[in-house]
Chain A
Amino acid sequence: MNSYRELMTAGVLAAALAVGTIPARAQEAVAPPLQHWSFAGPFGQYDPEQLQRGFKIYREVCSNCHSLKLLSFRNLADPGGPGFTQAQAAAIAATFQVTDGPNDQGQMFQRPGKISDYFPPPFANDQAARAALGGGLPPDMSTLAKARGYDRGFPWFVFEAFTEYEEGGPDYIHAILNGYTDPPKGFVLPPGTQYNKYFPGHAIAMPKPINDGQVKFTDGTPETVDQYGRDVAAFLMWASEPKLDERKRLGFQVMIYLIVLSALLYFTKKKIWHEVELHPELEESRAPAEYGR
């Protein structure tokens, strides 16, 4: 017991020394506000309706510049996803034009998408994207929600392990969409950039992508940037982590199994060690090595 306390004390002292010597860090980014996500927590699951709304936003807005190369139309009908049927996914695929070929004449050609196709990128290559968009390169969105985040620093990162916080990416994406404000007085924006409160360095090349009422929802969901941000961030989280539902469901079963197993092993251990802990050496005739046989 004593040694644990000493270790804790020493640890706290070292941490205090480390933190105490820290210069005030240049504030490069503002912490994105925490949102409520249906897929947060040990029992969290995606909300298919939200993913469908998010997909609508991706399709009508984001996909004009951002590719989603690792996703296939068939994924739209995968379990734990937006919950489209195979027929719906195929119908969505057919509305996209996909480059195929070469054909018998050696020519590449355009055809309507099939369910097995991957989402076609908006630009032929990175150079074409840069040329069309004034130099900026919109990142591919397939893993975007896991490739972004915000480091809340010590001691928050310790708590995040316990609170099971893995929604830093969606929080950040939502914050970016809602972070377009006027720059503070004296802030010089480089040409071709906009001010964004939550973007590291604040000068973002992407113009404000979405405004209130831009994407129509038929189910009465508010058509606000705040809501759009949440829905598209949820969709992008699914695009990055399509097996999250399955992971958390299986995780719960594994946890129960391991807890029961450990409890059984604990009582087995107790039973096996019982005789040794009775101090059998008090009876000179028996040697401990013989116990349990």
Chain B
Amino acid sequence: MSGHATYEPRSPFMKWMERRLPIASLVYSSFIAYPTPRNLNYWWTFGGILAFMLTVQIVTGVVLAMHYTPNVNLAFNSVEAIMRDVNYGWLLRYIHSTGASFFFVAVYIHIARGMYYGSYKEPREVLWILGVILFLLMVVTGFMGYVLPWGQMSFWAATVITNLFSAIPAVGSGIVTWLWGGYAVGNPTLNRFYSLHYLLPFVIAGVVVLHIWALHMVGQNNPTGVEPKTEKDTVAFTPYATVKDAFFVGLFCIVFAWFIFYIPNYLMHSDNYIPANPGQTPTHIVPEWYYLPFYAILRGIPNKLLGVIALASSIIILAFMPWLDTSAVRSAKYRPLYRQFLFIFFAVVIGLGYLGSQEPAGGYVIAARLFTLYYFAFFLIILPLLGYFERTKPLPNSITESVLRKGAPIGASGPPPGGGKA
């Protein structure tokens, strides 16, 4: 990854190793000496939290896979057997099912942080696009995982979501049959979802490597959006960033543990404890909470094909943010108008999430349409225009200057210190 390889092997073994596979110096330059802006706030710890969550999901998932049976007649009971008869199976399963939710909590905060501080802008476009790809992979993986317990919601969510592809003209129904491996959601569907649910997390891990690689090429953004200019603007990744990340992973785990141990079924739908029954549609099919905003967009649009297009666009449009945003200033801290519109955008997404959980009737549909309109207008109208109309606040000359202005630095009663003049 990028330079700063100042690792010098001391032991004879490490010297021997360094000439053959310089993995130690790679780790050293990427996770120890790597310079990180000194002014990062705690919103920046969610990248580390996501890496932690991916590990948790893979470890618990691999053990769960040892006990799970992907067969329509056995899947539900095999999950129940995990809960009842496997040693700490209830814990593994609740960590994994709650972990999916907390993975999404972290990724939404991570994305929101990127949007707020303009982390998608030049030169971080590829980093951002890799992030959008990771999010898409998470969405697909999470959906397939939700199908595996083969409860009522599993089955009907699989039916509804796979049926979306039937909206594609001409080839739609053929694609759906191909996805199902038959003429209805059935055993072949469950089998392939299981296979892909096991595969995709490792694809995610691979793209995470690219994501971190891209990050280390361009360096981290920071709350000012001003690139580090001197050594003074940065601190070493270890111990500074690592300890900060570790502290927030600890706090995150407290909330995570609250859900695992005290309300493990809070984020799940009670219907999923009813075995799948193709002959009986639940009164109200809802996806997991983390898909609700997109579900609301889908349902708000009366035409099925347009709804599916809007659903797909609502995620893919994120990838175009670096070019839709015309402003030269990164951080919303210095963009008063963008900041207002962005907070409204966040509120609209939460509002869409609420609407997605309710039955689509009357005022709900109208509200969902208005919110959908704002969702897309934010990207397609507000972002491009703001760059031309917004009066941004003056940027600090450097990260160090912004840090020093904030507090009252010891011994700095006079003019701004040296760091500010760079």
Stretch at the interface among A13-21, A191-199, A203-211, A224-232: A13-21
Of the residues A21, A268, A279, contact of B243 by C-beta under 8 Å: A268
Main secondary structure, interface of B, reads helix
Cα–Cα distance between A75 and B84 once the two chains are bound (Å): 9
**In the complex, are the beta carbons of A148 and B270 less than 8 A apart?**
yes
Main secondary structure, interface of A, reads helix
> Using an 8 Å CB-CB cutoff, how does the interface string of A1-38 with B read, 1 for contact, 0 for none?
00100110011011101101111010000000000000
Of the residues A6, A14, A242, contact of B350 by C-beta under 8 Å: A14
Cα–Cα distance between A272 and B80 once the two chains are bound (Å): 47
Of the residues B251, B283, B363, contact of A262 by C-beta under 8 Å: B251
Stretch at the interface among A60-68, A94-102, A163-171: A163-171
**In the complex, are the beta carbons of A7 and B367 less than 8 A apart?**
no
Stretch at the interface among B63-71, B320-328, B337-345: B337-345
User: Does A42 belong to the interface (CB within 8 Å)?
Assistant: yes
Cα–Cα distance between A255 and B258 once the two chains are bound (Å): 8
**In the complex, are the beta carbons of A18 and B351 less than 8 A apart?**
yes
Which residues of B lie under 8 Å from residue A292 when comparing CB positions? 236, 239-240
> Using an 8 Å CB-CB cutoff, how does the interface string of B237-279 with A read, 1 for contact, 0 for none?
0011001101100110110011111111110001101100000
**In the complex, are the beta carbons of B266 and A166 less than 8 A apart?**
yes
User: Taking the nearest CB of chain A, how far is it from the CB of B140, in angstroms?
Assistant: 27
User: Does A156 belong to the interface (CB within 8 Å)?
Assistant: no
Which residues of A lie under 8 Å from residue B217 when comparing CB positions? none
Which residues of A lie under 8 Å from residue B411 when comparing CB positions? 279, 282
Cα–Cα distance between A292 and B32 once the two chains are bound (Å): 12
User: Does B186 belong to the interface (CB within 8 Å)?
Assistant: no
User: Taking the nearest CB of chain B, how far is it from the CB of A104, in angstroms?
Assistant: 28
With both beta carbons as reference points, the residue of chain B lying nearest to A18 in the complex is identified as: B351
User: Does A276 belong to the interface (CB within 8 Å)?
Assistant: yes
**In the complex, are the beta carbons of A17 and B243 less than 8 A apart?**
no
Cα–Cα distance between A82 and B326 once the two chains are bound (Å): 66
**In the complex, are the beta carbons of A10 and B344 less than 8 A apart?**
yes
Centre residue among B235, B263, B265, B409 by max chain A CB count within 10 A: B235
**In the complex, are the beta carbons of B354 and A15 less than 8 A apart?**
yes
**In the complex, are the beta carbons of A242 and B84 less than 8 A apart?**
yes
Cα–Cα distance between A255 and B261 once the two chains are bound (Å): 9
User: Does B358 belong to the interface (CB within 8 Å)?
Assistant: yes
**In the complex, are the beta carbons of B265 and A18 less than 8 A apart?**
no
Of the residues A11, A149, A250, A279, contact of B412 by C-beta under 8 Å: A279
Which residues of B lie under 8 Å from residue A289 when comparing CB positions? 35, 231, 234-236
Of the residues A6, A168, A251, contact of B262 by C-beta under 8 Å: A251
User: Does A52 belong to the interface (CB within 8 Å)?
Assistant: no
With both beta carbons as reference points, the residue of chain B lying nearest to A163 in the complex is identified as: B263
Interface residue ranges, B against A (CB under 8 Å): 35, 38, 77, 80, 83-84, 90-91, 94, 231-232, 234-236, 239-240, 243-244, 246-247, 250-251, 253-254, 257-266, 270-271, 273-274, 283, 339-340, 343-344, 346-348, 350-351, 354-355, 358-359, 361-364, 366-367, 371, 400, 403-404, 407, 409-412, 417-419
Q: Apart from A14-B348, A255-B257, A282-B411, what 7 extra A-B contacts exist at CB < 8 Å?
A: A14-B371, A18-B355, A22-B358, A250-B91, A258-B257, A269-B243, A288-B38
Interface residue ranges, A against B (CB under 8 Å): 3, 6-7, 10-11, 13-15, 17-18, 20-23, 25, 42, 70, 75, 139, 142-144, 146-149, 154, 160-161, 164-166, 168-169, 200, 240, 242-243, 246-248, 250-252, 254-255, 258-259, 261-262, 265-266, 268-269, 272-273, 276-279, 281-282, 284, 287-289, 291-292
